[in-house]
Amino acid sequence: MATQAGKARKFHDLHQRAFAFVIPNPWDVGTARTLEHLGFEALATTSSGFAFSQGLRDNRVGRERVLEHCRALVAATSVPVSADLENGFGDDPSTVAETIRLAAETGLCGGSIEDATGRPESPIYEEGLAVERVRAAAESVRGLPFPFVLTARCENFLHQRPDLPETIRRLQAYQDGGADVLYAPGLKTAADITAVVRSVDRPVNVLMGIAGINLSVAELSVIGVKRISLGGSLARVALGALLRAVREIRSDGTFHFTNEAAGTAEINSIIE
C-alpha cells in the first residue's frame, strides 16, 4: 500500500499534466472501490452525495462525520483521495486551519474550502474574510510533511451571483493566499471557463455533470483545465435510477428496471 506522502506526490503530479484528468466523486466505500477498479487515478468526496446517503440534506452532516467518512474512503482504496470540506465547518479562519489539519490526519491528499457561508441571507463570505480563510488553510498545509493539495472554491455561480469578473478577482486573491488549485463550480460556457483559466496561474478544476454544460474531457483540456470533478452527479444518477424503479413498481406493478441492473457477479468481482 502506498504511503500518504507517496499518494500525495502522485496527486500533486496529476495536476501538472498537459491533459485534464477526471476525479469522480464516490459517496461510500462501495462506490469508491468501484471507481478505483474502473481505473480512475484519484477520487474526491462529495458533500451532497454523502449527505444524501445519510438521509440528510447537503451541508447538514457536520465535520466529525465527514472526517470519519474520509477516513473510511482512504482506508478502502489505494489511490489519492481529496475531500469536499465545505466551508471548513466554521466562519473563523482558525477553524478552517484546524479542519485542514484534521483532514490531513485522516490520510487525505487534498481538500477544498469554499467561500459559501451556508446562510441564505448572506450566502458568500465578504471577500477579505474569504481570503483570510484561504490563507489560514494554506498556512496549515505548509505545516504538513507532504504536499497536501489545497483547492479554493468561489461559489458565486452556485448562489445566483453569476458575476464573472468578481469570481475571477476572488480566485486570483485565493491564488495569492496560497491555494494550489482554483475552482468556480457552476461555470457553464467554454468562454467563461477559458476566461478563468487564462486569469490565473494555478491548475483549474471544472465541475461537470450539471445541467447546461456538455464539454468533453478533450475540449476542456484544450482550454487548459487540469482537473474535472463530478460533484454529486453520480450519486444523483444512482438515486434517479432508484426513483425510476420504485415508481415503476408503484405505478405499473412491473419490474422492467431489472433489465438495466448490474449483475451480482460483476459487482462482486469489482468490490471483493
**What angle do the packed helices 29-37 and 264-271 form, to 10 degrees?**
90
Residue 182: per-residue pLDDT: 99
Residue 160: per-residue pLDDT: 94
Q: How far apart are the first and last CA of the chain?
A: 17
- Reply yes or no on whether the pLDDT at 272 is more than 80: no
DSSP 3-state of 269: helix
DSSP 160: T
Confidence of residue 172 (pLDDT cuts 50, 70, 90): very high
Tell me the torsion sign for CA atoms 44, 173, 214, 246: positive
Exposure class string for 135-156: b at 16+ Cβ within 10 A, else e: bbbbebbeeeebbbbbbbbbbb
Cell 435510477 belongs to residue: 241
pLDDT tens digits for range 111-150: 999 999 999 999 999 999 999 999 999 999 999 999 999 9
Strand pairing report for 110-114 and 149-153: parallel
pLDDT tens digits for range 68-95: 999 999 999 999 999 999 999 999 999 9
Q: Which three cell numbers stand for residue 40?
A: 480512475
- Reply yes or no on whether the pLDDT at 1 is more than 80: no
Dihedral class, residue 186 (left if φ above 0, else alpha if ψ from -120 to 50, else beta): left
Mean per-residue pLDDT for 189-204? Answer: 98
Tell me the torsion sign for CA atoms 240, 89, 197, 17: negative
What residue ranges define each of the domains in the chain, with the CATH number in brackets?
4-232 (3.20.20.60)
Average pLDDT over all residues of the chain: 97
Dist CA 143 CA 6 (whole Å): 17
- Reply yes or no on whether the pLDDT at 229 is more than 90: yes
Mean per-residue pLDDT for 164-186? Answer: 98
Confidence of residue 212 (pLDDT cuts 50, 70, 90): confident
Beta-carbon contacts of 121 under 8 Å, excluding residues fewer than 6 positions away, are none
